[in-house]
Amino acid sequence: MFVTILTVVVAVGIYLFRNDGELFKKVSKEKILEFAYNKLEEKIDLLKSSPMKDSVKTLVTKEFNNLKNEKFDTAMNKFGQFAELIKSFSIDEKIDSTEFNELKTLVLYHERSKKN
């Protein structure tokens, strides 16, 4: 359900951006990202306690802050990838160190692609 809502929000955001352009981009990118970020935080809060849970929260915050400076389409695509990965890992209600490292690798990849 979470990913469905997130997907719809991202799709609506992309549609509106393409039709209303710059005005929409300025007003809504941060609102959409913040809504998606809050939903992702709720999903993480449902995970069982583990050494990785706080690290995942920190990583989500870092990714969110990085995406605030991205172009609208880029930010939506990257956050969508990130959310999908967390969703796939959270099926068993926990994230282990291997899954955390995969999330961390995705964030580092996003940072590198921004620099290039």
Q: Report how far residue 54's alpha carbon sits from residue 49's, in angstroms, rounded to the nearest whole number.
A: 9
Tens digit of each residue's pLDDT (9 = 90 or more) over 43-95: 888 888 888 888 888 998 988 888 888 887 888 888 888 888 888 888 888 88
**62-74 burial, b for 16+ CB within 10 Å, e for fewer?**
ebbebbeebebee
Tens digit of each residue's pLDDT (9 = 90 or more) over 95-115: 888 988 999 999 888 888 766
- More confident site: 9 or 99: 99
Based on the structure, what is the number of domains in the chain? Answer: 1
Q: Is the pTM of this model over 0.75?
A: no
User: In the prediction, which pLDDT does 12 show?
Assistant: 78
**Full residue range of the structural domain in which residue 85 is found:** 2-115
